[in-house]
Amino acid sequence: MSEKNLNTLNDILDIDGDTSGAQRKFPYMPLGQAVDMGFTEDGIPLIDPRIFDSGEFGRNPYPYYRILRDHYPVYYDQLHNSYFVTRYADITNCYFDEIGFNTIPKGSSSGVLGNTQLELSGIEHRRRRNIYGRHLVGAALTKRLHALEEIADELISEWWLADNPKEVLIDNEKGKVTVELGKAFANEFPISVVAQVLGIPQEARQQFTWWYDAMMSGLGGSETHHEGLEARQDLEEYVEDLVEQKRNKPTYLTDQMGDNICLDIISELCNSEIDGDVMSTEEITSFIALVVGGGGETTRGAIMNLWYLLLQHPDQLEKVREDLELWDTAFHEMLRHSTSIGGQPRHNTNDLTLHGVHIPAGSLIHMVDVSANHDDRIFENPEEFNIFREDLYSGKILRSGHDKEGKCSHMAFGVGPHLCPGAWISHQETVIGSKILDKTLKNVRINSDLMPKDIDGVSLAPIGLGSIRELWLDFDLPK
């Protein structure tokens, strides 16, 4: 940003004046349109960084990211003292530069989750990732796919229990069933799968789900942060006893025939050494918290967003039902269009200049994956949800797979050394869970009366940043 533009923005923000100027109410705009925040003498739209804290940005982020990509590909947010990198190519290059952008900022994951491997780089990162990464990909996971199906079937069977634990509404006269998909399925399914892969005993699964809910709610310095810290402490105390048991008597994951495949993740961690020392209980708990966060919340959002989008595009849903392989394609297009993962923060190791912007070493840089997914330099008509688009690579998830077959992959899981280790299991959970849901959800449709509305009071609310929290569905009562 030029000095002239910076001075103009300083006038708007009144940065040197009343500190109450750090907050501003922005009007809600029609989707795809940005609030007029002024222009430079050259006609370039200005960005008031207070927009990033607004409800308008949360529901309608893409026109603002477009302004950043087109005019400020590296944007210095002086209000929050951080930088935004928003173009697909730049973010890709940064992710693959493990020396220049080697890790997320120290301490950014250490609150509720503990000191996780996200804050490590190089050999340290690879050592820890390799300990458990094989459980979440390849043959070991393929042999466990039957367990995903069993868990999904079991959760759906609870819809019909007399005590109604999922709060399902059944109208026998109209032959209609109403469910909230999060409460009925998506909130619990991924965390049940993760608990099983970790090796959490069956009798502790319900408590484990509570720990997960509290820890996820406590991220980000929210008002529930204290409860999240308490949940993590409870989890660590429980894991301490479990670790001692598994150090002496490790337990295994089994295939459909009941034969051992490999150690569960906690047993693997208990019997692994790093630099000649066994891992501490605190280190193991942090591993568990990381896997829980990635394998639970990400998949919950994926299932909810996928069904929300497909049900609003019934022609595409019908094609998916006709060709079951298209569930995989729909999963990737959903993540490109409406990922629940906004991006990854980084610190730069050295001073650098990118697009004419000087970034001092150690600065906080946001790699905005959600903006990269909507970069029209890569994806045509990026705001359109289209499972048949020809520019999206939707094959096997690879760390280096950002540009294959003349197509580019979405950035929801990142690329390079820190590609999300739970990407493949999240993919399988979402697709397998959705296929099983589709067998039950006959003539399914969104219950618009129970869903949040957009600013016109009629249209369904957009997904915006993150994922929807509720999805109310009606479907025909099974005979």
Please say if the pLDDT value at position 463 is more than 70: yes
CA proximity to 362, closest of 149, 105, 172, 14: 105
The full set of domains in the chain, from first to last, is 61-476 (1.10.630.10)
Would the CA dihedral through 186, 191, 194, 196 be positive or negative? negative
CB 68 within 8 A of CB 82: no
pTM score, whole prediction: 0.86
Tell me the pLDDT band of 114, cut-offs 50, 70 and 90.
Answer: low
Q: Using one digit for the tens of pLDDT, what is the confidence trace for 331-373?
A: 999 999 998 777 888 889 899 999 999 999 989 999 999 999 9
Mean pLDDT for the chain overall: 83
Note the pLDDT of residue 218: 58
CB 219 within 8 A of CB 294: no
Q: How many CA atoms lie within 13 A of 87 on its CB side?
A: 15
Torsion region of 91: left, alpha or beta (phi above 0 gives left; psi -120 to 50 gives alpha): alpha
CB 37 within 8 A of CB 68: no
Q: What are the φ and ψ backbone dihedral angles of 359, each rounded to 5 degrees?
A: -120, 110
Rounded to whole angstroms, the Cα distance separating 374 from 432 reads 27
Please say if the pLDDT value at position 15 is more than 60: no
CB atoms under 10 Å from CB of 296, counted, come to 27
- Return the exposure string of 105-131: e unless at least 16 CB atoms fall within 10 Å of the residue's CB, then b: beebbebbbbbbbbbbbeeebeebbeb
Note the pLDDT of residue 390: 93
> For the chain, what is the radius of gyration of the CA atoms?
23
Q: Using one digit for the tens of pLDDT, what is the confidence trace for 30-46?
A: 999 999 999 999 999 99
